[in-house]
Chains A and B, each alone.
Chain A
Amino acid sequence: MVKDLTKSFGTFQAVKGVTFSVEEGEVFGLIGPNGAGKTTTMRMLSTLLQVTSGTATIFGKDLVTETDEIRKIISYLPEEAGAYKNLTGRRYLEFIARFFCNGEDVEKMVDYGISLSNLADRIDDKVETYSKGMTRRLLVSRALMFKPRLAILDELTSGLDVISAQHVRRTVRDTTKDGTTIIVSSHNMLEVELICDRLALIADGRVVEMGSPAELKDKYDADNIEEVFVKAVSP
């Protein structure tokens, strides 16, 4: 539950009072153009940035006062995330897994991560030899392998080719079957229509519209979400 969340950098207000709620097990999309405030909102929800005002609770835990507890149940995948280049894909997943479990559980989690990444034998190659798509698949599997209660995924398929993007979207969608809740951002409005149960349209730091893709298209008499967005932000 997010209520009146704001974020200011000095005199510049990046997020101007965002309010929305996400149901457990759903894929919730934050969509909007570059600079709309999506990433800043996600960074606040993932405890990276301090909240200027407003409140947010994640599975009953307060975002401002229970950050350590929240980090145990969330996973954040930044848009331009990278992995340690001198590690192999497997070692990178092991490094991350050790933050969440010990002993044999690490091995199990890593095996699950490898299956999500679909990197097969390349998992034992160094990350520096990976293509952009392979790195992104590794990072998505890193974000989902420990089955977080909430996964916050920024620009999920940014820069990926069609095949890789499809694989990543399928992986994310499948994860919700295990009960993981997903918040995903994108400025690719056609993509979010494919994977999101509900959407919030953000423009200039504010939520301008919210609902399921079908509801929004129906409300604005539009063929797709891109058209919905244009109509929603038009004066």
Chain B
Amino acid sequence: MRPLSNIFSKEVRELLTPATVLPIVVLAILFGSLGGIMGDVGGEASKPPIIGIIQQDDSELANYTAMILDSESDVVYKSTDIANIDEGLKAVSSAGGTALLVIPQGFGDDIQSNRSGTIRVYWIMKGTGMLDTISSASLDGLLGVTDKMLSMYILENEDMRASVNVTTALNPTIKNETTTFKGQTLEGISPSSISATLSSQNMVVPLIVLMVIIMSGSTVIASMGLEKENKTLETLLTMPVKRSHIVIGKLGGAAVVGLLMAFIYMLGMSSYLNSLQGSAGLNLSDYGIGLETLDFVLVGLSLFLAVVAGLGLCLVIGVFARDYKSAQSLTMPITFLAMIPMFVLMMKDFATLPGAVQAGLFAIPFTHPMMAMNNLMFGDYTLVVAGIVYEAIFASAMMAVAVILFKKDILVTGRKKKREGKEVRTWPRRR
């Protein structure tokens, strides 16, 4: 059994390295965090929605509607004066609430005149992530239940049943929705519709970032591994060319190839995305939400800097690749680094995340182009510009580090490991 155990232990030693273990640990932490977020969402969904009610109408049906809403939700603001909408929105917003509901004058009369009674819903949208709209979905459900209970109330009441026709009795209420988000008021649209439309329309940029980083990033790291494995690096380093030019040449080549690959990939994805936009059925520009020329320039700049920053990071990591095999395992952390903001931002808006998570995401350069479009659509330039500045600093720092490493012995001699006081090199040392 000794030869078998010998081979077994050699294989385990080769495969169980920090480069292979770390990505799995990061992935486990990521899933653990996502699990925590999902758990919080489950808890939030089961809580009664926080709302405010302005009840102008004092009819029997209006009182019954208000009673249902009151009993099934956490009402933080009540009024009978329609002039208090702004005050009500402020109160609900500061309580972390979802919406201000208005039961207007004539609500009951409309139903009894065979016209559906209107409930005006002033949504307070917190973020564009899927999980940010959980509370509005919860209230949406409650409004549906209210409609059904009101329907039963009408059908069980003989006087009303006689005066209200069946169509109105079965659908006694309709919603008139207005959404407030980042200082903008959007009439006739709900947070769920906005979130669904944004996530489908703005999926392009995160996908481009992810594809370019995966494709070009692995190319850059692998090229370093191949240069070492094929013993071409030493020759390249003795050519009459500045180290900075080697770095820029490698990054530029990888970026062009990556962008080309991403473009080809996106050609296929575009029909899929168009179908998603079609099914969402909303054109946000009709509501005054859209991008102007400057916005597209900022998104493009953010995307470009993220790619340069990412490739710079890959080149720095690539310096530590011993050969092609080890280079492949080093691409995994970069891939995860691009996937983390994509998944987190899909679930939650940056603004609604805890401070520590925000800081972590901000530090990842790939985050910024992924959220740039959403922020620019709602006129939030501060975060986008701050992101671009950070990306520029990060990209410059990575390129500077890469140039410095290209001037150091480590590129030729490999990493040093101290073991029991002796110096051991992990890349072939020759004298």
Contacts and interface: CB of A to CB of B under 8 A. Distances in A.
B240 A71 contact: yes
Interface stretch (A7-15, A21-29, A214-222): A7-15
B241 A99 contact: yes
A206 to B, nearest CB: 13
B431 A14 contact: yes
Given A49-B413, A68-B240, A76-B235, A84 B431 contact: no
A199 to B, nearest CB: 19
Interface string B405-430: 00011001100100000010100011
Interface of A: 9-12, 14-15, 35-40, 43, 46-50, 68, 71-72, 74-85, 96, 99-100, 139, 142
Interface in B64-84: none
Contact of A84 (B230, B237, B423): B230
Tell me what chain B mostly uses at the interface: helix, strand, loop, or mixed. loop
Contacts of A40: 430-431
Interface residues of B, number: 21
A76 B230 contact: no
Nearest to A47: B238
Contacts of A84: 230, 232
Nearest to B232: A82
8 contacts: A9-B423, A10-B416, A38-B431, A74-B238, A76-B234, A82-B231, A83-B230, A96-B239
Given A9-B413, A82-B231, A46 B431 contact: no
Given A9-B413, A10-B416, A81 B235 contact: yes
A142 B232 CA distance: 12
A82 B230 CA distance: 5
3 closest Cβ contacts across the A-B interface? A82-B231, A82-B230, A72-B240
Nearest to B412: A48
Interface in B84-126: none
A81 B431 contact: no
Contact of B231 (A12, A36, A80): A80
A37 B416 CA distance: 19
B61 to A, nearest CB: 78
A46 B234 CA distance: 10
Contacts of A79: 430
B240 A81 contact: no
Nearest to B238: A76
B47 interface: no
A50 B423 contact: no
B10 interface: no
Given A11-B423, A48-B412, A100 B240 contact: yes
Given A48-B238, A71-B239, A139-B235, 8 more contacts: A38-B431, A40-B430, A40-B431, A49-B413, A68-B240, A76-B238, A81-B232, A81-B235
Contacts of A43: 234, 412
Interface in B225-274: 230-232, 234-235, 237-242
B238 A71 contact: yes
A217 B234 CA distance: 35
- B408, B413, B416 interface centre (most CB from chain A within 10 Å): B413
Nearest to B428: A80
Contacts of A48: 234, 237-238, 412
Contacts of B237: 47-48
A100 B412 CA distance: 23
A37 B235 CA distance: 20
B79 to A, nearest CB: 75
B431 A50 contact: no
Contacts of A96: 235, 239
A65 to B, nearest CB: 13
